[in-house]
Amino acid sequence: MTYPRELIDPIIAKNNEFDLEGFVFGNGDFSPEIMLIGEAPGEVEIRTGVPFTGRAGKELDKTLAIAGLTRDQVYITSVVRSRPFGHKTKIDRAGHTVQKRPNRLPKPQEILLHAPLLDYEISQVKPKLIVALGGCALKRLIDNKMTISASHGRLWRGPIKQLGADGKYEASPQDYTIFPTFHPAAIFYNRKIESDLIADWEQLKEILASKSY
Ligand code: URA
């Protein structure tokens, strides 16, 4: 998997205008039928350079296994390729002031900055099925008004959003099949979704087995 430098370099250069750090490439060959799209890397991924290698990654591996999939059967990437960080001041136990840079959701301008990368990957992978991991991917691909709670676990088919020459999103000429489900980290904040999340991946297993996508 290679990306043209002329695509990446201007994006990395512009990261400085935002609170974005590091860069994580998508993982896998440009050949699998299934593409997984997350939100943005966290601290661990910025260090390892591999998507979903932190806490959320362990959850992702469990759910992939439910669907009978392994990482080498899928292409994994995210909406934003650099880590969006916030600023927090904390007082540690010794009473010292410590500056923290916690992960945060990517902002619309950051999603727009990284949009050509995701468009490029989708154009190269030509996935038969895209698993949108969480609301960020779902909104970026289909519609800002869509929510995971209302659409998870069911196939959606239609044109997706891609960046046009005028720098605005437009509908892709071709249709894609999207399977929306929860972001693997969602379970850390809301244990109640666990049974729905497992049911989604069981459902995905059936969809894959019956090739109904
Ligand atoms: N969340 C993502 O969307 N991607 C990662 O690589 C890690 C967490």
Name the CATH architecture for the domain at 5-206: 3-Layer(aba) Sandwich (3.40)
Task: Tell me if 78 CB under 6 Å of ligand 1.
Answer: yes
Distance CA 27, CA 57 (A): 13
Task: Tell me if 59 CB under 6 Å of ligand 1.
Answer: no
pLDDT tens per residue across span 50-79: 999 999 999 999 999 999 999 999 999 999
Distance from the alpha carbon of residue 202 to the mean position of ligand 1, in angstroms:
22
Task: Tell me if 52 CB under 6 Å of ligand 1.
Answer: yes
Distance from the alpha carbon of residue 93 to the mean position of ligand 1, in angstroms:
30
Task: Tell me if 51 CB under 6 Å of ligand 1.
Answer: yes
Task: Tell me if 27 CB under 6 Å of ligand 1.
Answer: no
The ranges assigned to domains in the chain are 5-206
Q: List per-block mean pLDDT (blocks of 10 residues) for the chain, which spans 213 residues.
A: 89 96 92 95 97 97 97 97 96 94 96 98 96 98 98 98 97 98 96 97 97 87
